[in-house]
Amino acid sequence: MENAKNKSFVGKLTESRNFGLVLGLIVLLLVAAVITPSMYSLNSIISMLQNNAVYGLLAIGEMMVIITAGIDISIGATLSLVGVVCCRLMAENPGVPGVVWVLLALVLGALCGAFNGLIVGYFKMVPMIATLGTMYIFRGFSFLFSGGQWWFPHQFTEGYQAFATLRIFGVVPSILVILVVVFILAALFLGYTSRGRRIYAIGTNKESAQIAGIKEEKVTFLAMTLCGMLAGLSGMLYTANYATCSYGIGEGYEMTAIAICILGGVSITGGKGKVDGVIIGFLMMAVITYFISLLPGLSVWSDAIQGAIIIAAVALNKFTERSAEKRALKERSALI
Amino acid sequence: MSDYILELKDVVKTFGGVTALNGVQFQLKQGEIHALMGENGAGKSTFIKVITGVHQPDSGMMLLEGEKITLRSTEDSAKLGIAAIYQHVTAFPDLSVTENIFMGQEIKNKLGIYNWKLMTKRAKELIEPLSKNIDVSKPMSTLSVAQQQLVEIAKALSRDARILIMDEPTASLSRRECEELYQITERLRDDGVSIIFITHKFEDMYRLATRVTVFRDSQYIGAWDVDKISNQKLIAAMVGRELTQMYPEKSAKIGDVVLKVNDISKEGYFKNVSFDVRKGEILALTGLVGAGRTEVCQNIFGIMTPDAGSFELEGQTVQIKSPIDALKYGIGLLPEDRQTQGLINELPIYQNVSSADMGKFVKGGKLDVSAEEQKAIELCQKIQLKAKDISAPPSSLSGGNQQKVVFAKLLNCDLKVLILDEPTKGIDVGAKYSIYEIMNELTANGYAIIMVSSEMPEVLGMADRIVVMRNGRVAGQFEAEGTTQEMILEASLKQEEGREN
Amino acid sequence: MSENKNTAPARDLTVKQGFKLSKFLVSWEMVLVYILLLINLVLMATRTNLYFSGGTVQSIIQSGMDVCPLVLGMILILMLGDIDVSVAATMIFASMATGLCCQAGMPAIVGVLAGLVAGGLCGAFNGFFVAYVGMPAVIVTIATSMLFRGIVKIVLDVNVLKVFPSFYVTIAWSNIAGIPLALILFLVMSAGFIFLLQKSKFGRQLYIIGNNATCAQYSGIDVKKTKLIVFILMGVMCGVASIFFVGRMGGSVSSTMGTGYEMTAIAICVLGGVSTNGGKGKVYGSVIATLIMAFLTYTLGLLEVDANSRKIVTGFILIIAVLIPNVNRQLIANLKLKFIYKGNKNVEALNIKTAEEVKALRAAIAELQKDSTVSDADKSAKIKKNEEKIVSLQKKCKEQTAAWLEEQREDERKAKERFAAK
């Protein structure tokens, strides 16, 4: 049957996006290797991943929101708020074990996300505007709580820092282990649980979702809460990783997270996107930023390059979509 | 204990101020195929949503095997073995066939983790008997409409449905696909499933159903045994009056050719379409839904541009690249979907009316609002618009009056050719009549009209000439005089078998 | 249905409803005016000396004016249903263009033009991707805000541009006859925008596109071109904003300045009643909102609320301003239905009907009391009769409601049992 052949062709094409990304990644790595060979020591690769890990966490959360056809630009502010709260309480109560702060971060982050979920899911606010407002609010509270203060390494307890920097088996920092665990859990959640699949369902067709008995409000609320939770976790891990904190951390991180999602093939109109794509997007972004930071004088270029990458990625998505449409029309033409 | 497996009594459902169902009743016998018929907007779709628990009725009773039930959600109805296949296939296009089948009733292990393997296996088992050509791991969007419908049937079967509702499943299927669907439907009935089959096509009803219920204007009209009611009577029940009185007399004189469409093609939509329309003439463009009629109109109006072919306007070849060009040449389109394409629901009527040609109201760089209002009032009075005043928003009007606003908008431009895409869709019978009157008056004033319509009586009652399209090509042209429904139907359906491979 | 026949007389469709003061007084724009007055009163009462000392009000207004050109441009963007978060970056980009020209010793006019053109180009870049490539405006402008600011960073690094035309500072800091020059310019520009948006054909096209872009296309409006023009206009307004902004900063600019201005501009527009879904809003609402924001910021400053806490206020204002229009009658009716009538529409209908009848009877009573033609005895008898009717109606309604709700509970219980078993 002719149809079967066509389908496998389309199937190949959808796979080729990831393929293209991997190819791009390899090219990038090669170029980087030629220009700065020092990049390829185990240590530098690990530190590259370690310093970018929070972007990965943020991107996974952002991805869930984008799949519902929404967007959350308050995650940088959530990161800051949670980071500041954790640091301040930690500095004031050095005796408390580190795991408490992780839990606190998760809960606080989830609360921030839940607030977003409430006004977007239940009060039907436009996600962009709603999270713009909460971004202000969270960032403001972050400052209030910090009192404009900075925290420095000597104030950080070992138990706190261990969640980011402790080397498991003497090699892998714990923040990366956490990142990998989050990747796996997210993949499981999005691929293998009904709640996860419902996130895709409302993103791909809201009306069908309603008929299938899926409550759009609830799913949006869940996705935004999870996103906030991951942002909260990143806040705690960020401060633990660098052992410094101020209310200004995480500014513009939401943009990087969105960029990673788009690079990873998450459709901004909802319904499409996978964890493996986001992982590749994350790796690409990590290599690019690290590469830039290695070259002297190039660090001022990082923002411009990131912006250009996002535009290129979305434009690329648009063009593949258009050519797929054209191909579909051609197939239909054969039947006329 | 009861003759009927499903019975509904006095069901009322309103949305905001609009009554979608007004005290309807319905009886379904065990193991029968029961046709439910009625025009667009008769309330059939809402009715199904009530049965499946998507909407809760405002009042009324629903009895399953004689026992009163209350459905709070689709989950409830699914548990009772009620499943529906909706008119617009309500799939999740980005999700796989397997997932579409199991959405809402996933197979999970104790931890709540999906068992994809088992689901895929089950999906294959369900799909196999229906079609051999569907790969359950592919996204739904890669399937044809007919295949998607089969997936929906598989979905219903996976829920052990006892009652299956099919909402116009044959609307966009080829004849051969229809025949396959008929056979599957009959097989289901023989397996003991009771089926409500909603359709526009009499053919479906005669082929499958033993009983038929008719709704009209949100109300229950009656139920009959299929072999005991004449075609004529059934149509009368659906439209509310005898066919003969439905169309006003024509008075227009037909003149020279105004617009000539020469051999236009558009990849994926239609090929080699040619026809012409004359001054004072109504040319009907008919055929099945999906035959490419709307797309032809959109090409003439410049929404899309054809890959090949040309347009001739009063003997001159013209290039139409956008609606701006089309309006400039005097070609106007009354779009099929007036809510999204024809009206701006939030803006006042007069702004809607002036929207397609605002240039004439500009005075010194400023829009002259009182001139706008004056012109709009003049036009709306001509077509007898019923509204509070000219600044009311179209959302406050009935369907028929909304359509009149779109008419007024076209009349505000200086046009020669009017393309009317399903001008009476979703409009109640009385308002339809006044739309026909407007059309006749326009032709009398020298407009050439191209009317796209799926309703056979309308085509025969209004048109001077008829172009039938089938699967993206012109399948036949008829003079209205002496043409019968059968001739048109035959042209729009014939030799479908040839193209399947 | 038969009144559709030709014999029907022409309907009077003229707009009968003229200007209604009561309606005007509660319109959103007027509410904004009240808020503005309230803030002023609070300020006046708490800091009397300061308020009446020379220059305070002027400096408050001046402090809020640097964002005003962005607000005006943003109204058009939001009107289309799009958004532009790159405006702050574009503004800095334009400032840089002017600054570089002036630094190179070119005449002031060239510098100003360079700024406007640079802004326009940035806008055209955004507009191209949004209108012609069809990418979502949010994403495009997020990316371009990084891009534009990134370019400024590359060019300027950590340097500060300090050579600007001298009138920049004049615009931002001086008064004419006691009125801030910036305010005068703002009002003049606003008048231009009011004409553009509310009186011209172009503005009408924006409303149409914002409400229904598909319909706009079918009405022969070039949607893509219009979008591009609006984005370019926004870019040029960023160039204008750079004049106000640089002046405000005392004639200097660096790559890190002006962050967050895009958010302030959007917040002001939303507060001013411009819908983020497109197609709704007026210019003067946002003009008042600009002043409110200026006074609010200043007042909070006086109350020793720091800049960052003001962000919280801005954020809440943004959210509340969007939520208020959502809290309308329909929502209240829905909530009532859900909680008071337990989702039972029969009960709702009955209660509404009863309430109406009671209201009618009460009106009749009031009428009777005023009526002097009827004797007192008659009057009281009739009133009594009506009152009895009210009581009986209400009682009936209550009983029926209770019965229906009981029935519903029974149904639900049964349903639960049934579905629990399966």
CA dist list (Å): A243 to A48, A155, A158, A238, C198: 17, 8, 10, 8, 55
What 3-state class would DSSP assign to B85? strand
Whether the CB-CB separation of C91 and C117 falls below 8 Å is answered with: no
CB-CB: which of C143, C151, C316 is closest to A311? C143
Q: B275: which strand partners?
A: B261
Q: Do B351 and C214 touch (CB under 8 A)?
A: no
CA C342 to chain CA centroid, Å, is 35
Q: In the prediction, which pLDDT does C344 show?
A: 65
Return d(Cα A197, Cα A202) in angstroms, integer.
Answer: 9
User: A207: nearest CA in chain B?
Assistant: B90
Phi, psi of B498 (to 5 degrees): -60, -35
Superfamily classification of domain B4-241: P-loop containing nucleotide triphosphate hydrolases (3.40.50.300)
* Percent above pLDDT 70 for chain B: 92
Mean pLDDT rounded to a whole number for chain B:
83
* Percent above pLDDT 90 for chain C: 31
**What's the DSSP call for residue C360?**
H
**What's the DSSP call for residue C280?**
-
Q: In the prediction, which pLDDT does A23 show?
A: 78
Write out pLDDT tens, residues B37-54: 876 667 888 888 888 888
Averaged pLDDT, B455-480: 86
Return d(Cα B441, Cα B350) in angstroms, integer.
Answer: 22
Return d(Cα C211, Cα B25) in angstroms, integer.
Answer: 39
CA dist list (Å): C263 to C8, C76, C314: 56, 16, 9
Give the chains touching A; criterion: ≥3 Cβ pairs < 8 Å: B, C
Is C55's pLDDT higher than 80? no
The residue among A152, A154, A160 whose CA lies nearest residue A240 is: A160
C331 chain-A contacts, CB cut-off 8 A: none
Least confident span in B367-376, B442-451, C307-316: C307-316
The residue among A51, A74, A72, A66 whose CA lies nearest residue A241 is: A51
What 3-state class would DSSP assign to C176? strand
Kindly report the CATH number that applies to the domain delimited by C22-327.
1.10.3470.10
Return d(Cα B440, Cα B438) in angstroms, integer.
Answer: 5
Q: Do C133 and A315 touch (CB under 8 A)?
A: yes
Give the neighbor-by-neighbor strand order of the sheet with B257-266: B270-278, B257-266, B308-313, B316-318
Least confident span in A4-18, A20-34, C120-134, C198-212: A4-18
Whether the CB-CB separation of C313 and C320 falls below 8 Å is answered with: no
User: B389: nearest CA in chain C?
Assistant: C13
Mean pLDDT rounded to a whole number for chain C:
83
Structure tokens belonging to residue B204:
């479906």
C10 chain-B contacts, CB cut-off 8 A: 381, 384
C217 chain-B contacts, CB cut-off 8 A: 303, 323
Whether the CB-CB separation of C136 and A270 falls below 8 Å is answered with: no
Q: In the prediction, which pLDDT does C95 show?
A: 94
CB-CB: which of A7, A204, A205 is closest to B142? A7
Is B81's pLDDT higher than 80? yes
User: A230 vs chain B: nearest CA distance in angstroms?
Assistant: 21
Return d(Cα B456, Cα B230) in angstroms, integer.
Answer: 17
Write out pLDDT tens, residues B410-444: 989 889 999 999 888 767 666 778 888 889 988 99
Neighbours of C413 (CB within 10 A): 11
Inter-chain CB pairs, B–C, below 8 Å: 134
Write out pLDDT tens, residues C64-113: 888 899 999 999 999 999 999 899 999 999 999 999 999 998 888 999 99
Q: Do B362 and C201 touch (CB under 8 A)?
A: yes
What 3-state class would DSSP assign to B330? coil
Kindly report the CATH number that applies to the domain delimited by B245-330+415-499.
3.40.50.300
Averaged pLDDT, C264-293: 87
Contacts for C178 with CB less than 8 Å, ≥ 6 apart: C58
Q: Do A4 and B135 touch (CB under 8 A)?
A: yes
The residue among A24, A77, A16, A37 whose CA lies nearest residue A250 is: A77
Return the domain boundaries, chain A. Answer: 49-286
Chain A interface includes C133 (CB < 8 A): yes
Q: Do C11 and B387 touch (CB under 8 A)?
A: yes
Q: Do C17 and B365 touch (CB under 8 A)?
A: no
Q: Do C218 and B335 touch (CB under 8 A)?
A: yes
Q: In the prediction, which pLDDT does B53 show?
A: 83
Is A6's pLDDT higher than 50? no
User: A10: nearest CA in chain B?
Assistant: B142
Q: Do C11 and B367 touch (CB under 8 A)?
A: no
Rg (chain C; Cα; Å) = 29
Q: Do B358 and C415 touch (CB under 8 A)?
A: no
Return d(Cα A108, Cα A85) in angstroms, integer.
Answer: 9
Q: In the prediction, which pLDDT does A308 show?
A: 87
Write out pLDDT tens, residues C343-402: 666 677 777 778 888 888 888 888 777 777 777 777 788 888 888 888 888 888 888 888
Q: Do C144 and A141 touch (CB under 8 A)?
A: no
Q: Do C154 and A301 touch (CB under 8 A)?
A: yes
Structure tokens belonging to residue C190:
């606003």
User: B343 vs chain C: nearest CA distance in angstroms?
Assistant: 6
* pTM: predicted TM-score of the whole model, two decimal places: 0.82
User: A5: nearest CA in chain B?
Assistant: B133
User: B384 vs chain C: nearest CA distance in angstroms?
Assistant: 7
Residue from C256, C319, C331 whose CB has the most chain A CBs within 10 Å, to mutate: C319
CB-CB: which of B343, B361, B384 is closest to C4? B384
Neighbours of C374 (CB within 10 A): 13
Mean pLDDT rounded to a whole number for chain A:
84
Return d(Cα A256, Cα A284) in angstroms, integer.
Answer: 12
Return d(Cα A5, Cα A220) in angstroms, integer.
Answer: 37
Whether the CB-CB separation of B204 and B16 falls below 8 Å is answered with: no
Is A227's pLDDT higher than 90? yes
Q: Do C214 and B340 touch (CB under 8 A)?
A: yes
Contacts for C328 with CB less than 8 Å, ≥ 6 apart: none
**What's the DSSP call for residue C227?**
H
Return the domain boundaries, chain C. Answer: 22-327, 331-421
Averaged pLDDT, B275-304: 89
Is B17's pLDDT higher than 70? no
Report the residue count for chain C: 422
Phi, psi of C108 (to 5 degrees): -55, -40
Strands (E), chain A: 167-168, 172-173
Is A132's pLDDT higher than 90? no
User: B176 vs chain C: nearest CA distance in angstroms?
Assistant: 36
Q: Do C153 and A303 touch (CB under 8 A)?
A: yes
Q: In the prediction, which pLDDT does B237 show?
A: 78
User: B49 vs chain A: nearest CA distance in angstroms?
Assistant: 8
Q: In the prediction, which pLDDT does B500 show?
A: 38
Whether the CB-CB separation of B327 and B357 falls below 8 Å is answered with: yes
Q: B419: which strand partners?
A: B333, B450
The pLDDT confidence band at residue C307, using thresholds 50, 70 and 90, is low
